[in-house]
Amino acid sequence: MGRQTHNRLVQRSSISAQTRASGSSHGEQRTPGRTHGGVSEEWLVRHLRPRGDRHFVSRFGLSVSSEPLSLNVSISSAQQRLHLQWSVHNLTHPELKMAFQIEISRIKKSNVIWVENYSTTVQQNQTLHWTWESELPLECATHFVRIRGKEDDTWAAQQRVWSSWSSWVKVDAQSLLGQGPPHIFPIDKLVEEGSNVTICYVSRHNESNVSCLLHGQRIPREQLDTHVSVFTLTNVSFISTWGSNLYCENDPDIITGAEPGTVLFVSKVLEEPKGFSCETRDFGTLNCTWDPGSDTDVWKYPSQRYALFESFSGKKKSCEQKNWCTWQVAQDSQMYNFTLIAENYFRKRSVNLLFNLAHRVHPMTPFNVLFESVSTTNATMTWKVHSLGNFSTFLCQVELHGEGRAIQQHNASSQVDGQYFFSGLAPATEYAARVRCAAKHFWKWSEWAGQNFSTLQAAPSKAPDVWRSVRSTLGSCNVTLFWKPLSKSQAHGEVLFYSVATENQDRLSSSKLFSIPAPANGTELSLDGCSHQIRVTASNGAGASPESVMVIAGDPGNPEVKEERIRGTEDGVSMSWKPPAGDVIGYVVDWCDGPQELSCDLQWENLGPNATSTVISSDAFRPGVRYNFRIYGISPERTAYLLARKTGYSQELAPANNPRVYISNLTLHSFTLSWTDYATDSQPGFIQGYRVYLRSKEEQCPPGFTKAVLPDNSVCCKHDIDNPEQKTFVVENLQPGSFYEFLVTPRTRAGEGPAHPFGKVTTREQHAHALIRIILPMVFLLLLLTVLCYVKSQWMKETCYPDIPDPYKSSVLSLLKPKENAHLTIMSAHDCIPDKLEVVNKPEGIKAQFPGARKSLAETDCTKHDYIYLLPTEKSSAGPGPGICFENLTYNQAAPDAGFCGPVPAPHTAPPGLGDLLTAPGNLLRSLEPSYMNSPGETPAGETTLNYVSQVASPTSGHKDSPPTNSLELAPCSEYRMQMAVPLGLASPSPNENRSLSSMSLLDPGEHRG
Amino acid sequence: MKVLAAGVVPLLLVLHWKHGAGSPLPITPVNATCVTRHPCHSNLMSQIRNQLVQLNSSANALFILYYTAQGEPFPSNLDKLCGPNVTDFPPFHPNGTEKARLVELYRIIAYLGASLGNITRDQRTLNPHAVGLHGKLNATADTLRGLLSNVHCRLCSKYHVARVEVAYGPDTSDKDVFQKKKMGCQLLGKYKQVIALLAQAF
């Protein structure tokens, strides 16, 4: 096929933005509106200069106009392409260079949208091809194509003329749609991100209200003709590999069920591969890798592919993967020039790589890593490397790791077999060694290959650090030995046991040996006398350590050393001491980590002979805990003697509790506070003193106190006691009878104790003693009077308030005396004419009363009294009542309640002719007498009784305390004694009367009240 | 009517596998014998009813899952894109005899089973990450298969109907992506509508 040229002359379209052709030689882009010439489907977009029309002149001076004939146009709907095929008749030569001009019109022939010149070499009977890609789907409009040609040889430039145009070829893809529902084109279109897309809505009807939406966004519309609407999407963006739905509707309110839609597939832009690199591990295969960037494939159109092209060999290989590819190394090839071609539907990109194979060697991982001649401190590592033929010298790197970190790193040059000698290792230690290698011309290290190994054990290198605690009792010495376990670097293996040898200094022949199995960290010895030398060694599987020697002195030689206080710092507890007069080979400071009272976890620290101070720190130190330290000097004879005692806190705290305070000596103006049982030594800090707070309503503080503000912002008075041993305090100069609140809180260097709770106290009242002097005698006097009254109560009663007042003793009488005669004031019985009788209705329950029992007031209230008026009155004419009373008008008010009357036996009914009877008291008595005599104990309960109520007290009326045998018991609840209706002359009681009354009282003793 | 996809035909062949399978399935002549491979359950109608109720209860959820997975504009244009506009859907007459109703049910279930197979196949490629939709489609297809078998059993055992001529919906394999989505949505809309009617009729 001859050389082809394209020359686009006219580019016209109603959608001008989309009718363009462009491209590039490197990473070229394929866009709609481009043309393809020839039979190949390769994209050959080339830019050529336009040439003017010239007449074709044959080589032989004969002007020939070759007219393209048999123009055939086919459609590729999915690709929106028109394929043109034509042939040239009447060629003047077997092979002739020709130019063709192609015109494409849309909708109508006069609307030319594309004119392109296409040059190629034509042979006899050759069918020529040319392809044009439309930006508008071909179904959207009718297209027309025509072509003309001319000879294009340079030697005949003067004679070149265009042939006549071929006939217009109509391309009507719409006619294939039929009379169905509306359509959208293109269908399932693949576009590149950032490009423009033209969509058309084709309907058989004239629809002018069509709208299309992509993700809910309306797309700008353009009316192409009466039944075709065009929508243009600009700068489309990638949304999903599975495409985006595009939907069109004519009228949103009309549902036809035939609304068309399509899916738009937007592909990302193909990127240039990054990090393109090739290497070999075996000189047989090259492994090339790269970073492809974004994946441009979409689900329906996977088109992203890669290929390797090697220019020296001219070989090309399509890669199956998007990020790596292999290439077989040729035996005789050292230099390689690769081109990696990335390609998808829209673009093509490539990168180059030129290299020498020997410089791209990535050795395989070393293997067979072993250790030989492993001793306590040395080992030899050996390994093998895969052979690379002629390239068999490697640079290797070895690393030794111990306790999780690299402790040695070396480079070693090796052949296929390599080795390295490690020295300076620690005995009985586990190590990890590894090796990696690179080719002599370094490209990449291989992966690491490693192996673990352990060195052999050796005897412990250091004597154990030993200390002791000595308690001597009655000639024997109890020694507790403590030792610290050797560190791993000192033990040189697992310590199996400790040997303790004791030797009596006084009797050298007396020595003992003890073996203490590990992991014990001490032992207790009972020695015969304290003067002993003790030697301790630690042993492992390889031998024993050097001896640790100490001498226990027979004479403790520890004078009482005064304890000094020391302070804790952030670093620990700091202390110092004076060096002793004699020689020392060192010092030991010991202390108990735990609370001494509970368990002394003895700790010690060895110091050199020149040390005079140290800072002791321990993870076990806790704030607020007091620690006691002892400092020993070690003599050249290995004897330890106490030099100093120190006590202190790693960190002092404020007291957590306040002392319990007692109050004493409370006076008008003072009181004493005491907290003598407060233990100053067991506090979380050294007690520096106490602070006394005093709170009262008074604004002024007592002398010695100053104003202070408590944490709760309340104001009070305070007084500081600087002597921690002073545990009493007298608060003076107080106001009598005042209320005070007080608080005693200790102080340490860290602060004072809590500001609560306050105690309460009230000073004595100033006049309290005077009041007591008055009140006490008065109380005594009142008490005496009460007792006296009680003893003489009977007399008092009779004197002050008798049960029945004696009319003769009445004060009324005394008032009348000066004016009138006594006879006029005191009514005589015989002067009394009964005017009415009281009839008492006794309820049945009364009869059931136990003899001698007293009836309550309430019960007596139940007794019903009726009055029968004995004198003819209007009221009495209504009929006789159930009882008869002689109403004493004088005492009418004193006896308002008939219930206080005692029971009197009475006939059931009033006797006949009662009215006559009542005219004379004697008749009345007589008429009543039989009833009294016959009815004792027989009167039924509830029966009406008859009482005579006299206004005259009986001369013999006894007191209620009087024995019943001596006196007549009368109605108990009445201030009047029950009386019999007797003649006026018989007002005094008679024995008979007594009897009858006695029998009456027996009848119902409950009615009598004492 | 186009030939069904390869995934649906084997299923139907299995269900109808007999001598002459693959040929059109006319209603068996009255005097023809009908033998089922396995004895039918005594409470076959009850099972059919339960299966219809089960399908009806899950039909709406399947419909919602489907149109949600398709993305816009389907959820907001259900009446236009997912309306039950299935023209060749087999008819059903609820007032017919039980035999007639069972024959129509058989045709409908066969139609739905085939269409659901197409939808399931399409959705595996169109929405490969819509796992919930795939599961629901498969479960519905399984139930439809069981229902088809039971109806067949009932027709065969009681009415001696061995073959029923069935029709299938259009094959979607050659349709564009939007059409596949739309046809699936319309079919499921129709399915939701019809299965409610069937559950009520039985």
Taking only the tens place, the pLDDT of each residue in B6-32 is 444 444 444 443 333 333 344 544 445
| pTM of the predicted protein model | 0.56
* pLDDT score, position A809: 64
What are the b/e assignments for A48-78, b being 16+ CB within 10 Å? eeeeeebebbbeeeeebbbbbeebebebeee
Residue A289's Cβ-side half-sphere holds a number of Cα atoms within 13 Å equal to: 4
Residues 300-319 of A with CB under 8 A from B: 300
Instruction: Give the chain B residue whose CA is nearest to the CA of A263.
Output: B178
pLDDT number for residue A227: 84
Among B72, B176, B182, select the one facing A187 at the smallest CB separation.
B176
Highest mean pLDDT among A112-116, A202-206, A330-334: A112-116
CATH tag, B43-201: 1.20.1250.10
Q: With an 8 Å Cβ cutoff, are B176 and A216 in contact?
A: no
Amino acid in the structure at residue A304: Q
What is residue A1006's predicted lDDT score, i.e. its pLDDT?
35
Between A998 and A487, the higher pLDDT residue: A487
The region of weakest confidence among A228-237, A258-267, A839-848 is A839-848
Q: Is the pLDDT of residue A427 over 60?
A: yes
The pLDDT confidence band at residue B59, using thresholds 50, 70 and 90, is very high
Class of residue A882 by CB neighbours under 10 A (exposed 0-12, middle 13-18, buried 19+) = buried
Lowest mean pLDDT: which of A21-25, A66-70, A344-348, A642-646?
A: A21-25
Mean pLDDT of A394-415: 91
- Residue A814: predicted pLDDT: 60
What are the structural domain ranges in chain B? 43-201
Tokens of A307: 């290929």
Question: Closest Cα of chain B to A235: distance in Å?
Answer: 20
Asked if the bond preceding A940 is cis, omega within 30° of 0, the reply is no
Test the A interface: residue of B178, B181, B190, B193 with most A CBs within 10 Å? B178
| Chain B CB within 8 Å of residue A859 CB | no
Backbone angle region of A27, left / alpha / beta, with phi > 0 → left and psi within -120 to 50 → alpha: left
Nearest-neighbour CA in chain B from A188: distance (Å)? 7
CB proximity under 8 Å: A 86-105 to B: none
A959-1000 confidence digits (pLDDT tens): 444 333 343 343 443 334 444 433 333 333 333 333 333 333
Q: What is the mean pLDDT of chain A?
A: 75
Which residue is it, tokens 């059993």?
B153
* Residue range B114-169, pLDDT digits in tens: 999 999 999 998 998 899 999 999 999 999 999 998 898 888 888 888 788 888 88
CA distance A726 to A740: 22
The pLDDT, as a whole number, for residue A654 is 93
Q: Which residue has the higher pLDDT, A837 or A638?
A: A638
Number of H helices, E strands in chain B: 6, 0
Is A581 in the B-facing interface, judged by CB distances under 8 Å? no
CA distances from A185 to A113, A136, A182, A357, A896 (A): 20, 9, 10, 53, 127
- Complex confidence, ipTM: 0.79
Measure CA of the first residue to CA of the last residue in chain B; give whole Å: 30
- pLDDT, tens digit (0-9, with 9 covering 90-100), for A707-723: 888 888 888 999 999 99
Does residue B56 register a pLDDT over 90? yes
Per the model's pLDDT, the better-predicted residue between A177 and A372 turns out to be: A372
First to last CA, chain A: 162
Going by C-alpha positions, the residue among A940, A833, A841 that lies closest to residue A887 is A833
pLDDT in tens, A725-772: 999 999 998 888 889 999 999 999 999 999 888 999 998 887 766 777
Taking only Cα atoms into account, the Rg of chain B, rounded to an integer number of angstroms, comes to 17
Q: Which helix (H) or strand (E) holds A317?
A: strand A315-319
Lowest-confidence pick of A319-333, A415-429, A464-478: A464-478
Q: Do A255 and B79 touch (CB under 8 A)?
A: yes
- What phi and psi values does residue B67 have, to the nearest 5 degrees? -70, -25
- Return the closest-CA partner of residue A841 out of A979, A940, A982, A975: A940
- State the nearest Cα–Cα gap between B13 and chain A, in angstroms: 31
Whole-angstrom CA distances from A937 to A92, A234, A999 are 180, 135, 9
Contact A263/B at CB under 8 A: yes
Listed in sequence order, the DSSP H helices in A486-628 are 488-491
H/E stretch holding A307: strand A305-310
Q: A186 to chain B: nearest residue by CA?
A: B176
CA angle, A995 then A1000 then A1006, to 5° = 135
Per-residue confidence (pLDDT) for residue A898, from 0 to 100: 38
Please judge whether B73 and A257 are an interchain contact, meaning their C-beta atoms are less than 8 angstroms apart: no
Enumerate the β-bridge partners of residue A338.
Answer: A310, A353
- Which residue is it, tokens 């306790």? A403
**CA-based R_g, chain A, Å:** 69
CA–CA distance, B198 with B57 (Å, rounded to integer) = 12
Locus of tokens 């007091």: A626
Q: Give SS3 for B199.
A: helix
Residue range A461-475, pLDDT digits in tens:
999 999 998 887 777
Q: List pLDDT tens digits, range A664-697.
A: 998 888 999 999 989 888 899 999 999 999 988 8
Instruction: Tokens for A1001, please give them.
Output: 């009282």
Give the three-state DSSP class for A910.
coil
Residue with the bigger pLDDT between A776 and A869: it is: A776
Q: Return the exposure string of A804-833: e unless at least 16 CB atoms fall within 10 Å of the residue's CB, then b.
A: beebeeeeeeeeeeeeeeeeebeeebeebe
Q: Please give the pLDDT value at position A684.
A: 92
Q: How far apart are CA A351 and CA A340, in angstroms?
A: 5
Beta strands in chain B (DSSP E): none
Residue numbers in A near B186 (CB within 8 A): 257
Q: Which helix (H) or strand (E) holds A553?
A: none
What is the spatial distance between Cα A194 and Cα A753, in angstroms, rounded to a whole number?
77
Span A220-242, pLDDT tens digits: 888 888 888 899 998 998 988 88
Residue B121: which H helix or E strand, with range? helix B98-126
- How does A234-261 read in b/e, with b if 16+ C-beta sit within 10 Å? eebebeebbbbbbbbbbeeeeeebebbb
Q: Does A180 touch chain B (CB under 8 A)?
A: no
3-state helix, strand, coil in chain A (%, to 5): 15, 40, 50
What's the pLDDT band for A839 if we cut at 50, 70, 90?
low
How many CB atoms are located within 10 Å of the residue A87 CB? Answer: 16
Specify whether the CB–CB gap between A337 and A343 falls below 8 A.
Answer: no
Q: Which residue has the higher pLDDT, B51 or A5?
A: B51
For residue A334, CA distances in Å to A152, A310, A330, A357, A358 come to 48, 12, 8, 5, 7
Contact call for A255 and B73, based on CB within 8 A: no
pLDDT at A924: 40
CB atoms within 10 A of CB A226: 11
pLDDT of residue A67: 58
Nearest to A677 by CA among A692, A658, A654: A658
Report how far residue A255's alpha carbon sits from residue B183's, in angstroms, rounded to the nearest whole number: 16
Which one-letter DSSP state was computed for residue A545? P
Average pLDDT over residues B108-113: 93
Quick check: A48 pLDDT over 50?
A: no
Nearest to B177 among A213, A243, A260 (CB): A243
pLDDT at A23 over 50: no
* Residue entry with tokens 């065969």: B156
CA distance A987 to A989: 6
Q: In this structure, are residues A240 and A218 in contact, taking their beta carbons and an 8 Å threshold?
A: no
Asked if A260 reaches chain B (Cβ–Cβ under 8 Å), the answer is yes
User: Does the structure show a pLDDT above 80 at A775?
Assistant: yes
pLDDT for res A77 = 85
Residue tagged 């100033």 (tokens): A766
B199 within 8 A of B56, measured Cβ to Cβ = yes
List C-alpha distances in Å: A731 to A609, A664, A702. Answer: 55, 11, 8
Closest CB to B85: pick one of A249, A257, A299: A257
**What is the C-alpha separation between A77 and A63, in angstroms, rounded?**
41
CB contact under 8 A, B81 and A261: yes
Residue A595 has pLDDT above 60, yes or no: yes
Identify the helix (H) or strand (E) that includes residue A651.
Answer: none
| SS3 per residue for A442-484 | CCCCCCCEEEEEECCCCCCCCCCEEEEEEEEECCEEEEEEEEE
- Chain A residues within 8 A of B85 when measuring between CB atoms: 257
For residue A813, the model assigns a pLDDT of: 58
pLDDT in the model for residue A607 = 94
